[in-house]
């Protein structure tokens, strides 16, 4: 009998930046659908708290400290996960940072740090999980873009370069690794209430209300809004879906004005 469409029992997921925000929302969804989850991040305290959350909902959890821009560490993390659980089926390359400035203000190292985390990081993660997915007979790769993958937002130069780039990288992975039964898709979140947007919400007068007014759903997104899409893209339900970039934005991208 084939596996039910949304069932992740027996599957193992690696969620980078799974220790908070959208990553934790997706890790919780994957865990609830039956997957074992390995979450990574740089902050040990946040990792511990997130692991406790996930364990409280009955999940089999592993934590890994590591920076996604460190290619050697990323490969070691993938090996550690496969060593602990015996396989690695799902990658959620979610870890990301932002640095808001006008284009003329960025120093070279600031530009580079955003690209290192948001674009190099997911690419290294995909390279690291590939042999494990190939061995398992297939896999699911989920990357995270943004509204900045689509729109030209004045204070988001390196962020937009990384989030536009990751959509293209995802399409490349989807076509290159289709022969290995690996599907790769990108999620484009709208405006979500997390640590990443907290400073902007505080510093930019009127931002909170403008987002609510511009979003047909009439609210900011919540990390919980990403559980369902993560399960869909990680499960057999999406076996014929690959190379897409799916907005999860309360309709932000379809609002005309
Ligand atoms: P958070 O800041 O809440 O979470 C980001 C996570 O990434 C943290 O858990 C952080 O953990 C981890 N992280 C950051 N840098 C690194 C690194 N170099 N190596 C390893 N882990 C790292 O932000 P969000 O949950 O909002 O963001 C998650 C993703 O969603 C990002 O890719 C972001 O760009 C994207 N996104 C978010 C939107 C929003 O409105 N919030 C909108 C569009 C896209 P630690 O600090 O422990 O390293």
Quote the pLDDT of residue 190: 98
For ligand 1, mutation pick of 16, 17, 217 (most atoms within 8 Å of CB):
17
Say yes or no: CB of residue 23 within 6 Å of ligand 1: yes
**Closest-CA residue to 196 (of 216, 221, 176, 164):** 221
Kindly indicate the confidence band of residue 32, based on its pLDDT and cuts at 50, 70 and 90: very high
The helix (run of H) or strand (run of E) holding residue 170 is helix 157-176
Q: How far apart are CA 21 and CA 95, in angstroms?
A: 10
Instruction: Give residue 179 CA to ligand 1 midpoint distance, Å.
Output: 31
Q: In what order do the strands lie in the sheet with 182-189?
A: 61-65, 36-41, 12-16, 90-93, 139-144, 182-189, 245-248
242 lines ligand 1 (CB under 6 A): no
pLDDT digits (tens, 9 = 90+) for 81-109: 999 999 999 999 999 999 999 999 999 99
How much is the pTM? 0.98
Q: Which atom of ligand 1 is nearest to the CA of 195?
A: 3
Say yes or no: CB of residue 215 within 6 Å of ligand 1: no
For residue range 128-187, what is the model confidence (pLDDT) as tens digits? 999 999 999 999 999 999 999 999 999 999 999 999 999 999 999 999 999 999 999 999
Maximum distance among all alpha carbons in the chain?
Answer: 59
Residue 257 in this model has a pLDDT that exceeds 80: no
Strand partners, 192: 221
Q: Which residues pair with 16 in a beta bridge?
A: 40
3-state helix, strand, coil in the chain (%, to 5): 50, 15, 35
Q: What is the mean pLDDT of residues 196-211?
A: 92
Cα–Cα distance for residue pair 17/22, rounded to 1 Å: 8
Residue 174 has a CB neighbour count (10 Å cut-off) of 19
Catalytic residues: 159
CA of 3 from ligand 1 middle (Å) equals 32
Whether the CB of 189 sits within 6 Å of ligand 1 = yes
- Mean pLDDT computed over every residue of the chain: 97
Residue 20: CB within 6 Å of ligand 1?
yes
Residue 4 is predicted with a pLDDT of 83
Instruction: Note the pLDDT tens digit of each residue in 4-25.
Output: 889 999 999 999 999 999 999 9
């Amino acid at each position: 009998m084939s596996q039910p469409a949304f069932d992740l029992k027996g599957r193992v997921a690696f969620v980078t930046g799974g220790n908070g925000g959208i990553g934790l929302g997706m890790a919780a969804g994957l865990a609830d659908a039956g997957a074992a989850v390995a979450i990574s991040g740089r902050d040990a305290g946040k990792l511990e708290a997130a692991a406790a959350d996930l364990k409280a909902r009955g999940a089999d959890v592993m934590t890994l400290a590591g920076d996604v821009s460190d290619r050697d560490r990323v490969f070691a993390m993938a090996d550690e996960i496969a060593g602990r659980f015996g396989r690695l089926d799902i990658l959620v390359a979610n870890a990301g940072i932002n640095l808001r400035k006008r284009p003329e203000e960025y120093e070279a190292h600031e530009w580079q740090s955003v690209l290192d985390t948001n674009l190099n990081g997911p690419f290294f993660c995909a390279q690291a999980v590939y042999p494990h997915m190939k061995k398992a007979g297939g896999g699911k790769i989920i990357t995270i873009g943004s509204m900045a993958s689509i729109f030209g937002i004045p204070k988001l130069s390196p962020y937009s370069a990384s989030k536009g780039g990751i959509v293209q990288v995802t399409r490349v992975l989807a076509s290159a690794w289709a022969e290995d039964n690996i599907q790769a898709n990108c999620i484009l979140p709208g405006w979500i209430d997390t640590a990443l947007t907290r400073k902007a919400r505080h510093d930019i007068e009127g931002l909170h209300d403008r987002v609510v007014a511009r979003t047909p759903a009439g609210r900011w997104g919540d990390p919980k809004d990403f559980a369902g899409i993560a399960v869909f893209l990680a499960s057999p339900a999406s076996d014929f879906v690959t190379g897409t970039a799916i907005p999860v934005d309360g309709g932000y991208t379809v609002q005309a004005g």
